[in-house]
Structure 1
């Protein structure tokens, strides 16, 4: 710590430097909204054909490699990340503060990890709670006015490398899980979609039915917690919204394996397929997602595969606020295979999903390790000078 020095963050970085102008006449935009990134994990980038569709007014911020994006609304929801690559014509919401560092003074990865440690997040959220806007929010100047202690650039990079190595392993595990899910989808498609030998007739013991025959809805237990209430709770169990983890709380409503399907807001992707979350363990969920388990031979894993390959655009209502109601979901027609066929297929996919859960559990342990190391590295308590990275 003797060689560390205190700086005002705004003296080593700039915020919101680049914006899109309609004069640039892009034909399309890949757009990231604040709710679609959490802890540097993106769950959805919206493709917008701006020749035929209106570009959202908030789709304006440009980013570049190593730009840090940090949601100015409710910082405690962890809607932040650092850009390492981006699709063509990429814009992010004006709800982000886009931070670009002076690389001679401040390493971008070091700053990203510094800004994500709990003490900084809680400090910024406390400022947000005092704001006079409709939602608890901060200004870019609140970030710029932070006073931080930093070592030399070489030490910054070493600290960032230690933390990045853990994040890299977690990213690899998520990539493996994505591949495993794609394999399971391919098996489902091969068995129940593309190779159904109908020839004008349903296979033996198959029938045309409705979703209500294969799902149990647990929506009556959904109880939202306000952001103000969540701010007072210890961060133990995930608090899910329609598309992702919104927060962590010290209580739970469910314990087990469930499928979450978006009810309102962002309920489908760009191709009309539903937004799904396959979740396990203890968790809380708000009232913007259906909570589903299976019946009559359908496991949660099979439901995940079925819905991930089913276009649900026809059951969506609401022009301004898209919604998938319980009634429309239950009445959606589907082909239901025989129980023997379902049982056989379930025995094939269960090992795949067991591996997915194992890798998720490994990532949860890595998160604990990283979060334990983070404040000790950022304070200089742990010396990295002799590390060979």
Structure 2
């Protein structure tokens, strides 16, 4: 294969050192050997960059970014030389297992000199490199999307749980111990049940695997054990020793090891005992830390002392209608993630070696389709907001009204998918008189798309109502905006909030994000100072709704809605 040649890495990659992480705060990721360490206002690398762990336990780990970053002094940076694909080289280095070349037994280390000297048979044709990277990226993009969906779904379930069981519980509900609503089955000492052959065996689920997934170096156990110890995708697993966690297992079928509980119930649905177990997790972690042992843990007595609220059967059935679809979607997504990860990990070494060529694999069908224009995505959100808010009695929906709802929805969506992306709102929206305002909404922008497609009708220059094709937005909405979050969180929280108060929320949140980026205290006085610095916002200081007391209240409200 002429596209594959035996060469040193120095011929296709330029390596660079990291530097001590800066003290400044901001939204730029700081990378170390174990991924993102924090965030700064400075960068030392831009555009496509490969990050390689330099020292210690994460020596040889590989990450990829395509934006400004800071690479710390316990990592190295790598840039593709001209004529090579950075994304391809990222996948190649991940497959190369660089840790095996590390020097030093007690303190493993990789250096630029070592990496430059490593020789591999590698694809040197940039077109082929990009094709390989495209196949693998399409799989990773889908995996990442499913993970972000699950984060959103879990957050939604926890929000509903908090609202119904913690903030507004029925005073007539019975209190019972956590141990009484579910069975907490401790795992086997699996080393006592080694496999008898290479067929009748399953991997052992230990704490490490619960956190990171099943790996090639996992232990194995015979399948000749009681079936109650077999763990399937979607089972609730509770690690009660060392690293405490509660998780719906998202891997392959395996055998439950000791120090893990498999949580089941014949009386209550999965969402109920899963969310109550997660609710008490912080308390259990504190108990485990207080135990004067080398490995903190909880006891069954701690499960007895952890109390839950038990609604009536009718109420459980009613709540299940909201919770069950969320939990089932998480489980379905986890199964899809497992399949995609297995496919990617099977293809990675074969594509890197040339054993499988891009033209030979159907994975190419997973390449991204044409991405919708941002203006079209925004139009779908606007139309959905107008459709939801409009009633004959209330009347038309103003631009100011829908813009505030759109801002507050995107604020939560960005927070749930990637915490640092919330700062993008301060560039996406501008400081205009009406509050955070998105430019270019009119004419050929999102409003124009809504009107041209007859999703909305412009009643006048600033207000809208649904038009004849409004329901066609349902074809697209789920692809961009997370219907469950929109309907069950955004609309529920803000539908009946007056427009002026929505403007205060959006303005104060925008200011808090700017203060957070600058590392300043999130206080009413600093918010007022931020408002005063803007020529378009400084008039707000004299408005009654922007009094110090109202801003204080807005900060309290927002801290219950968002994370800062």
TM-score range, shorter chain: 0.5 to 0.7
Call closer, same or farther: CA 1:169–1:74 in 2, change over 3 Å.
same
Higher helix share: 2
Between the aligned partners of 2:68 and 2:287, the Cα distance in structure 1 is 33
Q: How many residues align?
A: 333
Structure 1's 144 and 332: CA in aligned 2 closer, same or farther, altered over 3 A? farther
1:108 aligned residue (86, 89, 105): 86
Conservation of the 8 A alpha-carbon contact between 1:238 and 1:282:
no
Deviations 1:215-259 (A, max 9, x none): 43334425589xxxxxxxx99777652633263447356323122
Name the CA distance, whole Å, in 2 between partners of 1:235 and 1:15.
42
Displacement of 1:282 in angstroms is 1.6
Aligned-pair CA distance for 1:142? 5.1
Task: Tell me how far apart the structure 1 counterparts of residues 293 and 16 of structure 2 sit (CA, whole Å).
Answer: 29
Alignment of 1:227-266 (within 5 A): 240-241=207-208, 243-245=211-213, 247-248=215-216, 249=218, 251=220, 254-256=230-232, 257-261=235-239, 263-265=241-243
Farther-moved stretch of structure 1 (160-169 vs 275-284): 275-284
Change (3 A) 1:180 1:86: farther
User: Hey, what's the Cα distance between the residues in 1 that align with 2:246 and 2:30?
Assistant: 20
**1:213, 1:296 within 8 Å by CA — same for their partners in 2?**
no
Across the aligned residues of Structure 1 and Structure 2, the Cα RMSD in angstroms comes to: 4.5
Question: Given that residues 72 and 138 in structure 1 are in contact (C-alpha distance below 8 angstroms), is that contact kept between their aligned partners in structure 2?
Answer: yes
CA distance in 1, matches of 2:302, 2:37: 24
Measured after TM superposition, the shift of residue 126 of structure 1 is 5.3
- Find the aligned partners of 2:23 and 2:293 in 1 and give their Cα distance: 26
368 and 73 in structure 1: CA distance in 2 versus 1, 3 angstrom threshold = same
Q: For 1:133, which of 85, 105, 121 is the aligned residue? A: 105
Which residue of the other structure, out of 303, 314, 318, is the alignment partner of 2:273? 303
Q: Which residue of 1 is the match for residue 345 of structure 2?
A: 371
Please report how far the alpha carbon of residue 338 of structure 1 lies from its aligned counterpart in structure 2 after TM superposition: 3.5
Structure 2 counterpart of 1:336: 309
- Give the match for residue 277 of structure 1: 247
Paired residues of 1:74 and 1:125 also in contact (CA < 8 A): no
What residue number does 2:178 align with? 211
In structure 2, the residue matched to 1:69 is 52
Does the 8 A contact of 1:244 with 1:277 survive in 2?
no
Which residue of the partner structure matches residue 350 of structure 1? Answer: 324
Aligned to 2:23: 25
- 1: distance between equivalents of 2:54 and 2:182? 36
Aligned with 2:287 (options 315, 321, 326): 315
Counterpart CA distance in 1 for 2:37 and 2:256 is 24
For residue 110 of structure 1, report the CA deviation from its aligned partner.
Answer: 0.8
TM-score of the superposed pair, with normalisation by structure 2? 0.48
Q: Which runs of 5+ in 2 are unaligned?
A: 193-200, 222-228, 368-564
Residue 15 of structure 1, CA deviation: 5.0
Contact 2:236 2:246 in 1 (8 A): no
What is the CA distance between 1:125 and its match in structure 2? 6.0
Instruction: Work out the CA distance in 2 between the residues paired with 1:247 and 1:72.
Output: 22
Alignment correspondent of 1:145 = 117
The 1:384/1:91 distance shift into structure 2, 3 A limit, reads closer
Structure 1 238/221 Cα, relative in aligned 2: closer, same or farther at 3 Å? Answer: closer
Pairing of 1:89-104 with structure 2 (within 5 A): 94=74, 97-104=75-82
Q: 1:292 to 1:92 in 2, by over 3 A?
A: farther
In 1, Cα distance between equivalents of 2:166 and 2:72: 37
Looking at structure 2, the residues matched to 247 and 370 of structure 1 have their Cα atoms a distance apart, in angstroms, of 14
- Deviations along 1:96-154, whole A, 9 cap, x unmatched? x534123425422112211233xx33xx56556xx76248x563455443312232333
